[in-house]
Structure 1
């Protein structure tokens, strides 16, 4: 916890005098996902409450006005609770900086909770820093750093094999093969940049916006070029027709639209914070990308079927 400060409204502070102590409790509670049922409770089958109410105090023996916490079966010290009390009529209070060691692998949650209704309108500033034993990468992203190393090596090996054949038969190179070369180069750059982006994030705890934006853009270009390339081949370009004719503008328009949709989706998911975007916002960005992907696949198979008929 770094520089965490809680601010209450002037109205909330006006209920107390400067001589009083403990005039408002804010609790930070850290718990593992499997212990979520150990937080809060329900009296007589009613609505579940995180705070200890009068009825829950009688049933559970908790302290009214505080978070209801039951010890975890694996560790009686968890869920972990940090208490911060306002004093007198102060408008703000600082949470004492503290490091909380976490020894069990899992998905952890942090809640800031107040049970006093007079603290309605409470705001806070500051930040929390989470770090795994191997670095700052979240658990769901840590394995991807190794994955990108192997993918970079795979693209490098593929590039060397392709380049050797490219040089060997350079007099017979088709335009399509130049496009394939571009896709391989973009893939190599993308995987390498992803690795360096993750390595930097793991070391510093901050995602480099510049590198992330570049790698997302390169990835969107690679996906677009590879899909358009497959579509062109399916249409018979370089096989049964020298040009796409009147379809060129339509193919380019589809490619540009797909690039924009994929770029926006990847930027929203990777650039800046790593918070999961809301369901509605994600749906708004995923649908165009998924629709264009489906349309491309349908067009590819339709064109491929027509090309095969011509070849027969």
Structure 2
């Protein structure tokens, strides 16, 4: 492997730690409101998205002398990190602010309040406003914002509170202040508890502008994997007698990829039409994704190791493959579940670091194995298999270069210290890695597709061992024509041709279609195991 490629791999290994996962945005919340709990909601919204609010609770447990003053504050910002990276306790301090957190950032805000005489009035559905509440630009403390008042474009629905004015990230804060009748100030806040339901519905139902492209991506990728599966099933059905063991691995990865994309698409469809998702379904999707990614990495590893193509078996390497696959599956599942459930702290940090470390080791192992396999095929001068691995190597090098370029771009756009304005492209951070592996999978499918000549890629101990006499007689003519060299039948003692039985025909087909190769006596250490070395010695003794 060239030094430049090794440098790219090392750069990709260390920058993988910077990757982070993204979670889908819900549009429907049921927040528990009490004397000490206010509510903060975050979401990217389309313009003209309507925000609904409704209160629910038990009238019997509510104090009849208690009234409520409910105030809300809707704030937009061009900076994605101001909305989504601000903690709740600090976000509550933003309530009523008429300026941005930092100079140079821009946005708008709108606010209002409602008064309810009692709990019955609070829980009763109603139309809060007949006019669109004014919103005004957020500015620095030194400048005076100018008010802009608008009216509802149509009759507001029951529970409609406000409308968004631009495609932007929004933060919505609600404060509930209880009041005793006849008293403006309360020394001790009475106990109360009820549920506040908030929903945000826009032009694409409950879907947000940040999640809509990702939902379309999963739909397209689900169709792509269905086509992958149909094509692979067609090839396998046509040449089922010539299937290699590695081709079953490819089929399993295609099936898991198809299921993964279908489950994720159904999750985003649920958010679009219902405003929320079932957490169990999302956890199942993450676990399915972790299993698919684990098998995908094992697939690329066994192809790089030459399983079934250069080596008939992997020997003790199987145990290491299983261990690495299980470790990756474990850490990937933990990382996905914690991302869905909102877990933070030491466990999440250990999971992310462990996943990045295992992924880095797998990638390094892939390139080391690929380098050794390619070197072995060059020394054996096996043209057909060497051409296959050269195409596969070029694909992986292209993937490494594309990954490094993409990581540099994402670190510049999504993880910059200042104002993050590229929130519309957040979906690309998740879609790129899935698309990149799908490209690698497509290349593997094309290179190792089932065909009538699939056996020219399979390992044969009589072909892939040392045979210097055969090299002198036929210097790789079979390899040049990809195993299609025809040999004449051998006459018997009386000059007549023998009739071939079915077994003889099969042996003749193997002789005619499996190419002969040049053996390698210079690298005995790269042979699979002691059993294969003994077999080689036996073949040599027969030839002598």
Task: Please indicate, yes or no, whether the TM-score normalized by the shorter chain is above 0.5.
Answer: yes
Unaligned runs of 5+ in 2: 1-28, 38-64, 81-91, 101-107, 129-158, 178-184, 380-544
Find 1:309's aligned residue among 362, 366, 375. 375
**Residue 309 of structure 1, CA deviation:** 2.4
- For each residue in 1:97-153, what CA deviation from the matched residue of structure 2 results, as whole angstroms up to 9, or x when unmatched? 55322242110012346999x899x99753422223212223211111211121111
Instruction: Check conservation: 2:218, 2:264, Cα contact below 8 A.
Output: yes
User: How far, CA to CA, are the matches of 1:160 and 1:281 in structure 2?
Assistant: 41
Counterpart position of 1:99? 161
Find 2:362's aligned residue among 264, 284, 296. 296
Counterpart position of 2:304? 234
Instruction: Check conservation: 1:258, 1:292, Cα contact below 8 A.
Output: yes
The structure-2 alpha-carbon separation of the partners of 1:135 and 1:182, relative to structure 1 and needing over 3 Å to count, comes to same
User: How far, CA to CA, are the matches of 2:304 and 2:284 in structure 1?
Assistant: 30
**Residue 25 of structure 1, CA deviation:** 6.7
What TM-score results when the alignment is normalised by the length of structure 1?
A: 0.70
Instruction: Check conservation: 1:21, 1:86, Cα contact below 8 A.
Output: no
The structure-2 alpha-carbon separation of the partners of 1:262 and 1:119, relative to structure 1 and needing over 3 Å to count, comes to farther
Counterpart position of 1:141? 211
User: Aligned pair count?
Assistant: 263
User: How far, CA to CA, are the matches of 1:162 and 1:35 in structure 2?
Assistant: 46
**Residue 193 of structure 1, CA deviation:** 1.8
For 2:166, what is the secondary structure of its paired residue?
Answer: coil
1:32 aligns with 2:76: yes
1:67 aligns with 2:137: no
User: How far, CA to CA, are the matches of 1:180 and 1:123 in structure 2?
Assistant: 59
Larger radius of gyration: 2
For 1:107, what is the secondary structure of its paired residue?
Answer: strand
The structure-2 alpha-carbon separation of the partners of 1:26 and 1:305, relative to structure 1 and needing over 3 Å to count, comes to same
For 1:130, what is the secondary structure of its paired residue?
Answer: strand
**Residue 8 of structure 1, CA deviation:** 5.3
1:83 aligns with 2:113: yes
For 1:129, what is the secondary structure of its paired residue?
Answer: strand
Counterpart position of 1:207? 277
- For each residue in 1:24-74, what CA deviation from the matched residue of structure 2 results, as whole angstroms up to 9, or x when unmatched? 9764211101499xxxxxxxxxxxx958xxxxxxxxxxxxxx834369xxx
Instruction: Check conservation: 1:67, 1:113, Cα contact below 8 A.
Output: no
Instruction: Check conservation: 1:84, 1:94, Cα contact below 8 A.
Output: no
Counterpart position of 2:351? 285
Instruction: Check conservation: 2:338, 2:344, Cα contact below 8 A.
Output: no
Within 5 A, what are the aligned runs for 1:164-243?
A: 164-243=234-313
User: How far, CA to CA, are the matches of 1:281 and 1:82 in structure 2?
Assistant: 41
- For each residue in 1:227-249, what CA deviation from the matched residue of structure 2 results, as whole angstroms up to 9, or x when unmatched? 01111121221122222111211
User: How far, CA to CA, are the matches of 1:281 and 1:94 in structure 2?
Assistant: 42
Find 1:155's aligned residue among 211, 225, 240. 225
For 2:299, what is the secondary structure of its paired residue?
Answer: helix
**Residue 165 of structure 1, CA deviation:** 1.3
**Residue 254 of structure 1, CA deviation:** 0.8
Q: CA RMSD in A?
A: 3.9
The structure-2 alpha-carbon separation of the partners of 1:119 and 1:236, relative to structure 1 and needing over 3 Å to count, comes to farther
Within 5 A, what are the aligned runs for 1:113-128?
A: 126-128=196-198
User: How far, CA to CA, are the matches of 1:106 and 1:168 in structure 2?
Assistant: 53
Counterpart position of 2:331? 261
The structure-2 alpha-carbon separation of the partners of 1:180 and 1:3, relative to structure 1 and needing over 3 Å to count, comes to closer
Instruction: Check conservation: 1:31, 1:109, Cα contact below 8 A.
Output: yes
**Residue 2 of structure 1, CA deviation:** 7.0
User: How far, CA to CA, are the matches of 1:262 and 1:2 in structure 2?
Assistant: 30
User: How far, CA to CA, are the matches of 1:142 and 1:123 in structure 2?
Assistant: 38
Unaligned runs of 5+ in 1: 10-19, 37-48, 52-65, 72-77
User: How far, CA to CA, are the matches of 1:119 and 1:145 in structure 2?
Assistant: 49
User: How far, CA to CA, are the matches of 1:180 and 1:32 in structure 2?
Assistant: 47
